[in-house]
């Protein structure tokens, strides 16, 4: 029997392979695998469901990740999937597999972080499961939200000439990870070394304690805006742009000079000896929102009090172009974070 290595298909090849084995059995299933959250129907509203895992050694390193931050982040990465559909999450379920190297107090730390996130975002923890593990700490969260069918934003509804926008600024989470990895290696080689991370506070916080952008959805609601398309940036800007582009069967053109990049990204990238555009385009775990809307609606927005930046537009042709500061056009084929 032929053996196919997982990395031959990659994350989305695996997802498509799984999806091909299943069919919808219920009329209440509106959307299954293929977007940031599944959608099911009730008599009055749609139910949105999404789930993510965090696995020790893959998604986090406990040598520099506080357990309370980890619990908080677990909730954030899941809430972000519902916000990216232009809806609000209400409930979560937490599954936890933990080894005997952890104490009861360690579990308390994890759930303290989860509770902090629930309190901050008005979320109910309604269940879950716990189990033992022989392969490190494994955590998963399922989030449930609700929304009117007219308000939901999908990946496949971008339109020609839509303005492409992004919330926040880009590159910090990836650079925060690189800083933490660098300081860990320094400590391994010299245990007497005590890192001073004070000047890296913003990038480390973005990596360890990201914020799901509820405020952006609040802004949309108050301005009666429904983005034509939207996705959260979990695997990198370029990867998420390609998702919307492929789903909507469109190309795009974005401009380097328009990308929201803070000055520290340039200086820290130089310090870490990487191209700052690698952090901006391919760095994952931002959990900012990438979305599109018609030009006339964008021009009527008051952006003085919200950090939304236009970075380009979708095009009828299928080219995916980044216009560099020097005016040179390059094909944007960066894939973002590779899971397998």
Domains of the chain: 6-147 (3.30.1330.10), 163-331 (3.90.650.10)
Distance (Å, whole) CA 175 – CA 270: 11
Res 340: pLDDT: 44
List the one residue out of 195, 203, 185, 334 whose CA is nearest residue 268. Answer: 203
Res 18: pLDDT: 63
| pTM, rounded to two decimals | 0.89
Mean residue pLDDT across the chain:
90
- Over residues 86-135, the pLDDT tens digits come to 999 999 999 989 888 888 888 889 999 999 999 999 999 888 888 888 88
Res 206: pLDDT: 97
- Pairing type for strands 251-255 and 320-323 reads parallel
| pLDDT of 244 over the 60 cut | yes
- Over residues 211-229, the pLDDT tens digits come to 999 999 999 999 999 999 9
Cβ-based neighbour number of residue 333 at 10 Å: 9
């Amino acid at each position: 029997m032929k053996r196919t290595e997982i990395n031959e298909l990659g994350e989305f090849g695996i997802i498509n392979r799984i999806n091909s084995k299943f069919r919808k059995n219920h009329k209440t299933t509106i959307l299954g695998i293929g977007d940031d959250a599944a959608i099911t129907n009730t008599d009055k509203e749609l139910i949105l469901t999404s789930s993510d895992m965090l696995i020790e050694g893959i998604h986090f390193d406990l040598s520099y990740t506080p357990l309370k931050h980890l619990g908080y982040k677990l909730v954030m990465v899941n809430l972000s999937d519902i916000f990216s559909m232009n809806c609000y999450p209400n409930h979560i379920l937490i599954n936890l597999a933990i080894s005997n190297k952890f104490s009861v107090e360690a579990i308390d730390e994890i759930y303290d972080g989860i509770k902090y996130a629930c309190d901050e975002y008005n979320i109910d923890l309604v269940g879950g499961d716990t189990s033992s593990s022989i392969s490190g700490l494994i955590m998963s969260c399922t989030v449930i939200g609700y929304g009117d069918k007219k308000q939901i934003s999908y990946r496949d509804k971008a339109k020609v000439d839509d303005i492409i926008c992004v919330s926040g600024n880009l590159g910090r989470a990836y650079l925060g990870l690189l800083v933490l990895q660098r300081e860990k290696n320094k400590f391994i080689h010299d245990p007497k070394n005590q890192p001073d991370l004070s000047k890296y506070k913003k990038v480390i916080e973005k990596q360890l304690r990201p914020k799901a952008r509820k405020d952006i959805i609040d802004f949309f609601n108050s301005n009666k805006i429904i983005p034509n398309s939207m996705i959260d940036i979990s695997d990198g800007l370029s990867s998420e742009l390609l998702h919307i582009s492929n789903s909507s069967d469109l190309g795009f053109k974005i401009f380097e000079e328009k990308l929201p990049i803070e000055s520290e990204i340039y200086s820290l990238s130089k310090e870490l000896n990487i191209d700052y555009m690698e952090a901006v385009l391919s760095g994952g775990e931002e959990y900012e929102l990438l979305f599109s809307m018609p030009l006339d609606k964008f021009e009527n927005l008051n952006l003085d009090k919200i950090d939304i930046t236009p970075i380009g537009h979708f095009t009828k042709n299928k080219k995916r172009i980044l216009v560099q500061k020097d005016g040179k056009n390059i094909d944007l084929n960066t894939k973002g974070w590779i899971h397998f």
